[in-house]
Structure 1
Amino acid sequence: MPALFFQQQLVITKHSVQPFNAKTILLFDAQFLNVDEFNLDALLSPFELTVFTRRKSNKAKQEYLATRLLLKYLVKQTMPQFRELASNHISSEFDEQSSKLLLHITGSNTVLSSCLSHSNGFVGAALNHECIQFGFDIEKISTKRPFIKLAKHFYHLDEVNLIRQNPERFFRIWTLKEALAKATSQPIAKLLSPNVFNQLMLSKLTAVSCQYKEFDVSVVSNQSTDWQCSVVNSIDQLRSVLHF
């Protein structure tokens, strides 16, 4: 059964504005984003600006800005009633009670659940309109890490044995655990030692995964097969919708 989880079933395509699927995870390489080129006051809410300014490294600022632009783009593309809303009237704020990143829209009672992931400058963002159990994770594959040593320390023995056969499986197992943690609102520390494949079965959740360039991507949901990934090649693809 675990062999199914190592198949490359997740579809990743280049982004196009139309047609647009609400169950889309937008992916973007933020490392070339020049944050100084943007009018941040017009794009980020006052709360987001406060969080952004607390980010110390340029990489952290790039990832934060990129994920927020992707989320606001998704709101405008999937909810036509907010298409003309100023981007700084959409605010992303983490909710401790639900362990979810929620989007609040000025002048509206609408609150949207979302999910983010980032690894080494590569970021992903998605909305969860239906508030289903859903989570995804991105992790850069590094062949220099001590796979077996790490796996022995953190993972289930059955998972360690799978990694012995193929070291890159370490990252597939990791993204599955992270995605499951987000889908079920559990801390990742609680899901490190249990067998993730058994946990997925017990949770009655499905998972699809793939490798994209040097990254492993996994999606966990009770409707995982409905989700797709779309790569934004340039932030300019968002310009006409976000008006920057």
Structure 2
Amino acid sequence: MPALFFQQQLDIIEHTVQSLNTQTILLFDAQLLNVDEFNLNTLLSPFELTVFTRRKSNKAKQEYLATRLLLKYLVKRSFPEFTTLPANQLSSEFDESSSKLLIHIAGSSTVISSCLSHSNGFVGAALNIDRIQFGFDIEKINLQRPFEKLAKHFYHIDEVNLITQNEYQGAERFFRIWTLKEALAKATSRPIAKLLSPNVFSELTEVNLNAQSAVYNEFDISVVSDKSTDWQCSVVNSIDSLRAVLSF
């Protein structure tokens, strides 16, 4: 039943990074960062520094730095053998063949799969240590966007009907369907363009994947994953919470 997908099923833990497990998505408002306050040479790999410097806007730089700090924190918390490794020895690089963001560790053959999402300065980061089918997406619920027009142009007719039948929940349903499609695209390594017109609820059933969603502040968040896993979100209220582990 599509109605189940509009329920708030995803656990979001506020203001803590203490109760992490391997199925934790860290959330953070990147706009709280002042990038000029950080010694980027000690935090980002040479590859990451190159990507960072290509970012033109301050918001894009904030989002890039924040997601990499979150990823490196998760690596150090999840792999004790890398606890003392400098942060700039961990390098996140997109792999075209797998359509995944992979984290390479200097001097090690270990390669860790990861997933990121960002919207309007709000970012999320997670590791996919077991390399299961997993993806998540964040999207700001923007009531000013012509969501009905967009839905009629891109979405499946059954999805359009769900959006237009309730004038009070139309926007929320539009963005929930969007984050489900994006999360499914990441989980299955399929281009989002190929998942816009199919019915996302039918697609999730067909691939036998679990979907959980929630609204946090003005953002819709959806997670699609193997049914044997149970993901949760943990909100980082200050990047200083990561300072001891990342040594900055």
User: So what's the TM-score if we normalise by structure 2?
Assistant: 0.97
Q: CA RMSD in A?
A: 0.9
| Residue 18 (structure 2) aligns with | 18
| Residue 92 (structure 1) aligns with | 92
Number of residue equivalences: 244
Checking the alignment, whether the CA contact within 8 Å between 1:116 and 1:124 is kept in structure 2 is yes
User: Is 1:111–2:111 an aligned residue pair?
Assistant: yes
Q: What CA deviation, in whole Å up to 9, does each residue of 1:75-121 have, x standing for no partner?
A: 00011110000000000000000000000000000000000000000
Checking the alignment, whether the CA contact within 8 Å between 2:23 and 2:229 is kept in structure 1 is no
Checking the alignment, whether the CA contact within 8 Å between 2:93 and 2:103 is kept in structure 1 is yes
SS in 2 for 1:53: helix
User: So what's the TM-score if we normalise by structure 1?
Assistant: 0.98
List 4+ stretches of structure 1 deviating above 4 A.
none
CA distance, structure 1, for counterparts of residue 84 and residue 91 of structure 2: 15
Instruction: Structure 2 unaligned segments of length 5 or more: list them.
Output: none
SS in 1 for 2:27: strand
Output aligned runs, 1:230-241, within 5 Å: 230-241=234-245
Deviation at 1:145, TM superposition (A): 1.1
Checking the alignment, whether the CA contact within 8 Å between 1:208 and 1:224 is kept in structure 2 is no
SS in 2 for 1:142: coil
User: Is 1:185–2:189 an aligned residue pair?
Assistant: yes
Choose which of 223, 229, 237 in structure 1 pairs with 2:227.
Answer: 223
| Residue 53 (structure 2) aligns with | 53
CA distance, structure 2, for counterparts of residue 29 and residue 216 of structure 1: 14
| Residue 141 (structure 1) aligns with | 141
| Residue 155 (structure 2) aligns with | 155
CA distance, structure 1, for counterparts of residue 227 and residue 187 of structure 2: 11
Instruction: Structure 1 unaligned segments of length 5 or more: list them.
Output: none
| Residue 126 (structure 1) aligns with | 126
CA distance, structure 1, for counterparts of residue 42 and residue 7 of structure 2: 42
Deviation at 1:162, TM superposition (A): 0.4
For 2:57, give the aligned amino acid.
Answer: S
Deviation at 1:22, TM superposition (A): 1.3
CA distance, structure 2, for counterparts of residue 236 and residue 43 of structure 1: 14
Deviation at 1:226, TM superposition (A): 1.1
